[in-house]
Structure 1
């Protein structure tokens, strides 16, 4: 795995950890309403969704870091497989996001472009 791929994987992991905090703990903050397309009256209804997605993003961040650690510790095929799968998964999920809700195009770009870049690095 190239150094560029390792660095990008860790950067994406840090971004996903930030999203985890926003989705799982800060989703009631007014400045995040537009990011999640929520309103205060929706909080109880979307709590399960936001917390679940937040922890999904946390586990994805952990998978990316684990893949880099595996690759750096000599388990290159396992590390590359984990990072490649995770990059492909987030590239796909960004496409699903923009297709399912066009208003979230910026969120989809922020998720998809780094993941696609990582996928290209991993498959290139």
Structure 2
């Protein structure tokens, strides 16, 4: 069960690295603007906000990755703390997104499903 949790956690981290790239590197590109449904003017106006938000996503991915490494190398308590912090923050961000903008429910589900599944698997692994 722990191995499955770590695989899903890794997928969540990879997704958040991808979100980082979109928000902090390619924010004003036509493809990223299409994903977020923005005009070129909106993208230029929000570029610095997106840059900052992208780095938050990267940091969550790094914390989660560190938790995966710690758990895989036997530092279970440290690994669990890092995993719950990273994955819990990812899930909380998805909840904030859907609560604050109902029209972003699809994005929130995409952002929050992997962290939720990983957390459930970690909880199950810790009780078995």
TM over 0.5: yes
Which residue is 2:6 aligned to?
6
Which residue is 1:33 aligned to?
33
Residues 84 and 119 of structure 1 are in contact (CA less than 8 Å); yes or no, is this contact kept in structure 2? yes
CA distance in structure 2 between the partners assigned to 1:55 and 1:119 by the alignment: 22
Once the two structures are TM-superposed, the CA of residue 34 in structure 1 deviates from its matched residue by 4.3
Q: How many pairs are equivalent?
A: 124
Which residue is 2:106 aligned to?
106
Q: Deviations over 1:73-101 (max 9, x none)?
A: 22110001110122221111111101111
CA distance in structure 1 between the partners assigned to 2:32 and 2:98 by the alignment: 18
Once the two structures are TM-superposed, the CA of residue 41 in structure 1 deviates from its matched residue by 1.2
User: Secondary structure, in 3 states, of the residue corresponding to 2:111?
Assistant: helix
Which residue is 1:43 aligned to?
43
For structure 2, list consecutive stretches of 5 or more residues without a partner in the other structure: none
Which residue is 1:76 aligned to?
76
Once the two structures are TM-superposed, the CA of residue 51 in structure 1 deviates from its matched residue by 0.5
Q: Deviations over 1:28-86 (max 9, x none)?
A: 12232243342211233211211011111111111111001111222110001110122
Residues 28 and 44 of structure 2 are in contact (CA less than 8 Å); yes or no, is this contact kept in structure 1? no
Residues 28 and 40 of structure 2 are in contact (CA less than 8 Å); yes or no, is this contact kept in structure 1? yes
Q: Higher relative CO (CA 8 A, sep ≥ 6), structure 1 or 2? A: 2
For structure 1, list consecutive stretches of 5 or more residues without a partner in the other structure: none
Residues 35 and 107 of structure 1 are in contact (CA less than 8 Å); yes or no, is this contact kept in structure 2? no
Question: What do you get for the CA RMSD once the two structures are aligned?
Answer: 1.5
Which residue is 1:59 aligned to?
59
